[in-house]
Structure 1
Amino acid sequence: MVVAVRGRTVPGNRWDLLADVPAPPPRVTVVVTHYQQPRELARTLRALARQDHPADLLQVVVADDGSSEPPRVPAGVMVVTHVHDGFGAAKARNRGAAAATGDVLVFLDADTTPEPGYVSRVARLPGLAPEVVTTGRRRHADLSGVPTDADVEVAGPAHELASPTWLRDELAWSRDLLDADETSLRLVLGAVVSCSAAMFAAAGGFDETFDRYGGEDWEWAHRAWTHGALLAHVPEAVAWHDGPDRAERPGWGTEGEGRERLLAETLAVGARIPAPGLGPAGLSPDGAADPLVTLDAGLGGDALVVAVDSLLAALPRARVLAMPEQHALLLGDHRVVVHPAGADHLAAAPARTAWRRLHLHAAVSGPPAAWTEHADLLRGADAAGHVAVTRGGAPLVTWSTLRAERRAARWGREDLHPRLARPASGLTVVGGDVTVQARWGGWR
């Protein structure tokens, strides 16, 4: 299913084409995630009252993760809460988003205080083009001794702490995410992310099964990307985090509890996100399947079994959508899912997180390299959205990104991502005289 959105779009990730487009201020809801941080919350709510965004177009919702004492907020600020049952940032953000009336959602953490121009700057692109997901610039400062009524644009620089070098370098290398790709989700921080309400609905809310700190923002960013998001970093939208980045804290990720927490976060991400560099090579968690494989309705018999066996040997993390009669031939492999004829593959469970699709037009087989030789054309900035692998002009398999498919369906346009055709070099059509017994026995 593709959720409809209203507004405009641009090819690829080219949000820079919107730089000179007039953008009236959108209706914005700021969702402030909070748990047991009354001092930090007071600072952030004061900063939100000083925003240059029109006050009549700004709603503030404090999403409380079940603090022992209800947060105290000024008149006009809404509070939503739930019973605390462990780390619940995802749940809190989702409750806040459900209460939102704005066309654009701006997510902040209570300990991340925005400068006066933050909301108007981070909300501009999502308000103009609803597929754009923006991330502000999170800087760090020791505000522990600073009065909560101090102006953060003054107090922040005066008490600044180091920001992560890797994050600064990656954002510079990607030209503020203009050159974003399927791995750029690592640069999207939940404490400073913004999107249209329509994009949030399209991607679905934050994954509430994350029960420890870290990773739920990356997982959401991955789903947003696969559902057609454009990613943009807005460096002039500055918010100040009270305290150092956790990677700057002694022992984080290298010893004791810090190492255990890093392992837990890495495994949680790897179990849910199939993006390159974030998951296992051989393990195949159901929540991080990729690619999604669809089968031509006419495929069956020995040829189907040989083809799918060859495919899964090359792509062990794939999930195959098969009609009931096809599924019955494939030995109950957990990677093969029953999918009725005519059903929307984008609505299938594996499509929630997969980022690529491989469609099998013909029963073909070959070595692993033959299956994957053109898959890399889908990777990287400005990558193709559709690659037909052909022989004699006829398609054997087609690679596509689910991002490109969803955007094409949303806008009725096939020109938003490059479409390529390449000849196959290692895949061969399984002949009608080939039997499964002969193939498995090694004599055909």
Structure 2
Amino acid sequence: MKTAFIVLTYNRPDALLQVLKGLAVQCDSSHEVIIADDGSSQDIVKALVDVLPEFACQLRHVWHPDTGFTASRARNLAAAASTAEYLVFMDGDCIPNPGFVKAHARLLEPGFFVNGSRVLLSDALTQKIISNAVNLQSASFFDWIRWRLAGDVNKLIHLLPWPKALFRKEKKFRWKKIRSCNFGVWREDFLRVNGFDESFQGWGHEDADLVLRLHNSGVLRKNGFCATEVYHLWHKENSRSSESANRQRVFERMHTGLVRATVGIDDARLARDVTVTRLN
């Protein structure tokens, strides 16, 4: 079985490089990595190619023109380009923990999607990581304790791996802590609900909408705490001008039983403005 790690990015190659380094040391021939690029400038893309880590699996770059915040479309285009049976969606500023790939493999189960967890990092620690002064893949237990005491990380849950933890599964839709930056789903289930809904405008809650529709289709949530944590590099918040309208839209859909996206991966498969490049 093949698993695809789909990494969303936009004009932040320094952060993306750290994410790719974290995946490169964990992935093998049973995986593929796809960069879902939401319209980064071509100069940035070319510069990234020269410093990519070596992968034992196929690495591809899926790009479409910059028309604003269209993360759902970028993810759908990447998923449409994938040949994997299982998809793990990530953000290009979320570095996988050293056991991330194996943890997702242990937690995948028919009838469930995996909702991952994240650890927030400070601006100061982020700058050290970006400059290669700190390597999170080799950080010790005591490094993390020191960073927590200094306020550089918001929690230490990833230091307590518990892959067989109880109470992971949830039968009802719950809005809290839905993370499209760390989200595993069977390709078949993703296609059934027509992927992310591209009709959501701007930032916010397109991930909650996907989870709601998966639940409506009979796919249940399994939480990935103490197993699948990613380290979220600091950045200024994106504009949240659309957040309220998007939230209201999900609330309205909660009572409809909707399963399929209005504009989704079926449309992405027909796109003519997408560029797919093999990077290794």
* Aligned equivalent of 1:60: 33
Match of 1:135 among 102, 112, 115: 115
Q: Give 1:177 shift.
A: 4.2
* Aligned equivalent of 2:135: 151
Q: Give 1:81 shift.
A: 0.5
Match of 2:228 among 237, 246, 260: 237
Say what the alpha-carbon RMSD is for the aligned residues. Answer: 2.8
d(CA) in 1 for partners of 2:133 and 2:25? Answer: 11
d(CA) in 1 for partners of 2:15 and 2:111? Answer: 31
Q: Which amino acid aligns with 1:77?
A: L
* Aligned equivalent of 1:219: 209
Name the SS of the counterpart of 2:229 in structure 1.
strand
Do the aligned residues in 1 keep the contact of 2:11 with 2:40 (CA within 8 Å)? Answer: yes
Q: Which amino acid aligns with 1:204?
A: N
Name the SS of the counterpart of 2:36 in structure 1.
strand
1:152–1:176 Cα change, 3 Å: farther
Q: Give 1:272 shift.
A: 3.6
Q: Report which of the two structures shows the higher radius of gyration computed on alpha carbons.
A: 1
Do the aligned residues in 2 keep the contact of 1:161 with 1:244 (CA within 8 Å)? Answer: no
Name the SS of the counterpart of 1:119 in structure 2.
helix
Q: Give 1:291 shift.
A: 4.7
* Aligned equivalent of 1:87: 69
Q: Give 1:289 shift.
A: 7.0
Match of 1:100 among 79, 82, 107: 82
Q: Which amino acid aligns with 1:227?
A: S
Task: Normalising by structure 2, report the TM-score.
Answer: 0.73
* Aligned equivalent of 2:17: 42
d(CA) in 2 for partners of 1:245 and 1:228? Answer: 36
Match of 1:178 among 157, 169, 175: 169
d(CA) in 1 for partners of 2:19 and 2:189? Answer: 25
Q: Give runs of aligned pairs for residues 5-404 of structure 1, distance below 5 A.
A: 26-51=1-26, 53=27, 55-69=28-42, 70-71=44-45, 72-73=48-49, 74=52, 76-126=58-108, 129-142=109-122, 143-146=126-129, 147-148=131-132, 150-153=134-137, 154=139, 157=144, 159=147, 160-162=152-154, 176-182=167-173, 184-235=174-225, 236-243=227-234, 261=240, 264-274=242-252, 288=253, 290-291=255-256, 352=260
d(CA) in 2 for partners of 1:99 and 1:180? Answer: 31
Q: Give 1:187 shift.
A: 2.4
Q: Give 1:290 shift.
A: 2.8
d(CA) in 1 for partners of 2:233 and 2:111? Answer: 30
1:150–1:56 Cα change, 3 Å: farther
* Aligned equivalent of 2:273: none
d(CA) in 2 for partners of 1:273 and 1:95? Answer: 26
Q: Which runs of 5+ in 1 are unaligned?
A: 1-25, 164-174, 247-256, 275-287, 293-349, 354-444
d(CA) in 2 for partners of 1:197 and 1:151? Answer: 32
Q: Give 1:230 shift.
A: 1.6
Question: Paired residues, what number?
Answer: 230
d(CA) in 2 for partners of 1:150 and 1:103? Answer: 34
Q: Which amino acid aligns with 1:152?
A: L
Q: Which amino acid aligns with 2:5?
A: V
| Deviation sequence 1:252-299 (CA, Å, 0-9, x none) | xxxxx97xx36x31221222444xxxxxxxxxxxxx37356xxxxxxx
Higher relative contact order (CA 8 A, sep 6+): 2
Q: Which amino acid aligns with 1:145?
A: K
Q: Give 1:185 shift.
A: 3.6
Do the aligned residues in 1 keep the contact of 2:194 with 2:260 (CA within 8 Å)? Answer: no
d(CA) in 2 for partners of 1:99 and 1:221? Answer: 22
* Aligned equivalent of 2:268: none
Q: Give 1:237 shift.
A: 1.4
1:243–1:289 Cα change, 3 Å: closer
Name the SS of the counterpart of 1:206 in structure 2.
coil
Task: Normalising by structure 1, report the TM-score.
Answer: 0.47
d(CA) in 2 for partners of 1:215 and 1:265? Answer: 7
Q: Which amino acid aligns with 2:110?
A: P
d(CA) in 1 for partners of 2:254 and 2:175? Answer: 17
1:191–1:118 Cα change, 3 Å: same
Do the aligned residues in 2 keep the contact of 1:80 with 1:96 (CA within 8 Å)? Answer: yes
1:291–1:210 Cα change, 3 Å: closer
Do the aligned residues in 2 keep the contact of 1:113 with 1:241 (CA within 8 Å)? Answer: yes
Q: Percent identity?
A: 26
Q: Which amino acid aligns with 1:106?
A: V
Do the aligned residues in 1 keep the contact of 2:205 with 2:246 (CA within 8 Å)? Answer: yes
